[in-house]
Amino acid sequence: MNALLSVSDKTGIVEFAQGLHALGIKLLSTGGTAKLLAGAGLPVTEVAEVTQFPEMLDGRVKTLHPKVHGGLLARRDLPAHMAALQEHGIDTIDLLVVNLYPFEATVAKAGCTLADAIENIDIGGPAMVRSAAKNWKDVGVITAADQYEAVMAELKAAGKLSDKLRFALSVAAFNRIAQYDGAISDYLSSVKFEDEKLSEEYVPERSLFPAQSNGHFIKVQDLRYGENSHQQAALYRDLYPAPGSLVTGQQLQGKELSYNNIADADAAWECVKSFDEAACVIVKHANPCGVAVGKDAHEAYAKAFQTDPTSAFGGIIAFNRTVDKAAAEAVVKQFVEVLMAPDFTAEALEIFKPKVNVRLMKIALPQGGKSDWDHGRNAMESKRVGSGLLLQTADNHELALADLKVVTVKQPTPAELQDLLFAWKVAKYVKSNAIVFCKNGMTMGVGAGQMSRLDSARIASIKAEAAKLSLQHTVVASDAFFPFRDGLDVVVDAGATCVAQPGGSMRDQEVIDAANERGVAMVFTGVRHFRH
């Protein structure tokens, strides 16, 4: 048996090659890999010896040869193929170990030049991988270090690879090639080529939206059904999921998550992790129906639940703090579909143990940093339309106190300003049109998803009344501007004394005048948060 090893990422390759050698498998290799193996005392034959043709063009040409591809592609069950190999002195290659030039890592570096990107486009590697993967019945193709263990285990046990493993390796290989080519296409399609600037040091400007978009997602699981029982569905994750994102979570107990569970859980998790203080978010049908901050998880939950106990029934609950005994004892009293937190104490897990249908999800919070990735956020958002795809940068805008522009005679109090920032964070996750009443770090009434902003304001008031909450001296966040004064009048009539809205309407002055007339404070945020 012959194995050809040619890897860019050399993690574990020496140990793997030692295992192959111990099994009597002949080692072939190229360039740096060959030197590494020889340095480890392994007998290795360079591909140039086999092809009788030297590596050339700075290593660009070394494996593109019939003695390599013939050895990979020949079908062992076809006498004509084997006769051709014998006639031309070609040995079969039974194992191929290749990982590709680090194109993705190269272009991810700040200041990557076009020349560096081009130089890291692998040619011979993908060609060999495709040859081996096509001939999977006879050749095992290994494209990642995490495959070494399974391959070695079968070789030691049976002296060969099973059809099942060879086919799985082939599928993984074609997937890797698709990912690799997609990354190259994404990069080159995004480059704004400027001929007059072209040089070895040329760092091209890149468009956020390449001429061709090549998304790559890995299936996590099939789902029982989709949004409705007559629809089929599955969950996929990004090839490289951001730390702290929903798909990185671990389900600790409960039945499988459904399509709707996952959609609502994502809405709750994205909202709760936007708060620095201990927070709780309760979501029902993709909208927050209760959000609050508190001194700990228990207090945050008690306040969030108080907003809308009716809608909280069968909801999705997310915490950004460990769920302890006190929080668990409070939550377990209600019917909850999914409960998410960075962690659960042993006591909390025991409390939920009898509730076998409650899905507990443990998700590590992102550690933070400069990029959206560091915060566990999607950099881009997508939506399918008929035979098309809408792409946009994600709504990751964070409002700071300094961004608020007071436009009324009355000034907000320091407490009102803090509540406005809280309300604005919540409004970002409420479907448009969104109206959110808040007070003391707690939602008091939420109006969502209405065609009219007036209706959203009225629904928020109705929700508060049903929960026996007073809207007197509350603040209000509106995800978009008030086009007329009537919306402002509705929230002020309900008890609001301070309002945050984006501004930008032709009738802004009319609304400002109305606020001054009613004696309330109003601030403009300068940004809106439509969420359809």
Task: Please write the tens of the pLDDT for every residue from 9-36.
Answer: 999 999 999 999 999 999 999 888 999 9
Q: What is the pLDDT of residue 113?
A: 92
Q: What is the pLDDT of residues 256-269, one digit of tens each?
A: 999 999 999 999 99
Strand partners, 116: none
Domain residue spans in the chain? 2-197, 249-366, 402-524
Strand partners, 140: 95
Q: What is the pLDDT of residue 170?
A: 97
Q: How far is CA 74 from CA 282, 386, 401, in A?
A: 60, 45, 69
Report the candidate in 479, 504, 482 with the shortest Cα–Cα distance to residue 492: 482
Strand partners, 223: 233
Q: What is the pLDDT of residue 444?
A: 97
CB atoms within 10 A of CB 96: 29
Q: What is the pLDDT of residues 305-351, one digit of tens each?
A: 999 999 999 999 999 999 999 999 999 999 999 999 999 999 999 99
Decide: residue 110, CB within 10 A, 0-12 exposed, 13-18 middle, 19+ buried: exposed
Handedness of CA 338, 339, 344, 349 (dihedral sign): negative
Q: What is the pLDDT of residues 202-228, one digit of tens each?
A: 888 888 888 888 888 999 999 999 999
From the candidates 10, 81, 134, 473, give the one annotated as an active-site residue.
134
Q: What is the pLDDT of residue 412?
A: 97
Q: For a pLDDT cut of 70, what percent of the chain falls above it? A: 100
Q: Is the peptide bond before 261 cis (omega within 30 degrees of 0)?
A: no
Single pTM value for the model: 0.88
Look up residue 27 and give its two tokens.
Answer: 């080692």
Q: What is the pLDDT of residue 207?
A: 87
| Assigned CATH class of 249-366 | alpha beta
Residue 53 has pLDDT above 80, yes or no: no
Task: Return phi, psi of residue 3, to 5°.
Answer: -125, 130
CB atoms within 10 A of CB 12: 13
Q: What is the pLDDT of residue 521?
A: 97
Residue 247 has pLDDT above 80, yes or no: yes
| Assigned CATH class of 2-197 | alpha beta
Residue 200 has pLDDT above 80, yes or no: no
Question: Which whole number is the average pLDDT over 423-441?
Answer: 95
Residue 66 has pLDDT above 90, yes or no: no
Q: What is the pLDDT of residue 91?
A: 92
Strand partners, 237: 218
From the candidates 26, 81, 216, 285, give the one annotated as an active-site residue.
285
Helix (H, G, I), strand (E, B) or coil at 273: coil
Predicted confidence band of residue 153 (pLDDT cuts 50, 70, 90) = very high
Catalytic residue status for 134? yes
Q: What is the pLDDT of residue 61?
A: 76
Decide: residue 182, CB within 10 A, 0-12 exposed, 13-18 middle, 19+ buried: middle
* Rounded (10°) CA dihedral 330, 331, 333, 338: -170
410, 521 contact by CB (below 8 A):
yes
Supply the mean pLDDT for the chain: 93
Give Cα 113 to chain centroid, integer Å: 27
Q: What is the pLDDT of residue 501?
A: 95
Task: Return phi, psi of residue 428, to 5°.
Answer: -60, -25
Predicted confidence band of residue 370 (pLDDT cuts 50, 70, 90) = confident
Q: Fold match between 249-366 and 402-524? A: yes
Catalytic residue status for 375? no
Q: Which residues are CB-contacts of 357 (< 8 A; sequence separation ≥ 6)?
A: 254, 255
190, 210 contact by CB (below 8 A):
yes
Q: What is the pLDDT of residue 490?
A: 94
Question: Which whole number is the average pLDDT over 285-306?
Answer: 96
Q: What is the CA radius of gyration of the chain?
A: 30
Q: State the fold for domain 402-524.
A: Cytidine Deaminase; domain 2 (3.40.140)
Q: How far apart are CA 99 and CA 122, in angstroms?
A: 10
